[in-house]
Structure 1
Amino acid sequence: MILEAALLQVKSSMENEFEKAFEEASTIITAMNGYKSHELQRCLEVKGKYLLLVRWDTLEDHTIGFRQSSEYQRWKKLLHHFYEPFPTVEHFELFHD
């Protein structure tokens, strides 16, 4: 299993709008092949900062299956205009349990 992690900085005063849009966007990602689960965490110290964690079966399920899909275009339209700066997405695999 692969863990996708992205630190999201939402533009000032757009947090509520982002959270509503994320609820809608969640239905897109949950329907993708290889999707396992996701969570969105709100930072306590920095307003507008979120941590998105998504679990995928394989790296390719995210980088090819999702990112190259028409569904990803809908995801982008719903969410990408909220970010400043645009987030870096990294992938992790379990080293030790």
Structure 2
Amino acid sequence: MILELADIRIAPGQQAAFDEAIQRGLTTVIAGAKGFQGFKVNKGIESPERYILQIFWDTLEDHTVGFRESPAFADWRAIVGPFFAAPPVVEHFTLLAKSA
């Protein structure tokens, strides 16, 4: 399994609208993508305009090719993109260890 980690910064004062938009985009667009396994969204406490999005994929290519090169990616960005203060920083990770 691959973890996609996106560090998202949104424009100040847009948190409530973005909270709704990101959840809608995840459940209506990304959840239907091939290889999608689940997601977590964390919202900053000290920096309320900062969000950490974790999406779990079967393979790296399910995200980088299957999703990002599909029309669904444009649908996703149409929902969440207007809120971005800067392009998200996105990286991918493999699991090294976890607790029971």
Normalising by structure 2, what TM-score?
A: 0.92
State the alpha-carbon separation in 1 of the partners of residues 23 and 52 from structure 2. 15
Give the stretch that moved more between structures: 21-30 or 52-61.
21-30
Offset at 1:51?
0.4
Offset at 1:23?
2.1
State the alpha-carbon separation in 1 of the partners of residues 29 and 86 from structure 2. 23
Determine the structure 1 residue equivalent to 2:90. Answer: 89
> Which segments of structure 1 move beyond 4 Å, counting only runs of 4 or more?
none
Determine the structure 1 residue equivalent to 2:75. Answer: 74
Normalising by structure 1, what TM-score?
A: 0.95
1:74 counterpart letter in structure 2: D
2:89 counterpart letter in structure 1: T
Determine the structure 2 residue equivalent to 1:9. Answer: 9
Instruction: Name stretches of at least 5 consecutive residues in structure 2 with no aligned partner.
Output: none
1:7-52, Cα deviation, whole Å (9 max, x unpaired): 1111011111111111220121111100000011011111211100
1:35-82, Cα deviation, whole Å (9 max, x unpaired): 000011011111211100000000000000100111111101111121
Offset at 1:96?
2.5
Quote the RMSD (CA, aligned, Å): 0.9
Instruction: Name stretches of at least 5 consecutive residues in structure 1 with no aligned partner.
Output: none
Question: For residues 8-87 of structure 1, what are the structure 2 equivalents within 5 Å?
Answer: 8-26=8-26, 27-87=28-88
State the alpha-carbon separation in 2 of the partners of residues 39 and 96 from structure 1. 18
Secondary structure, aligned partner of 2:29: helix
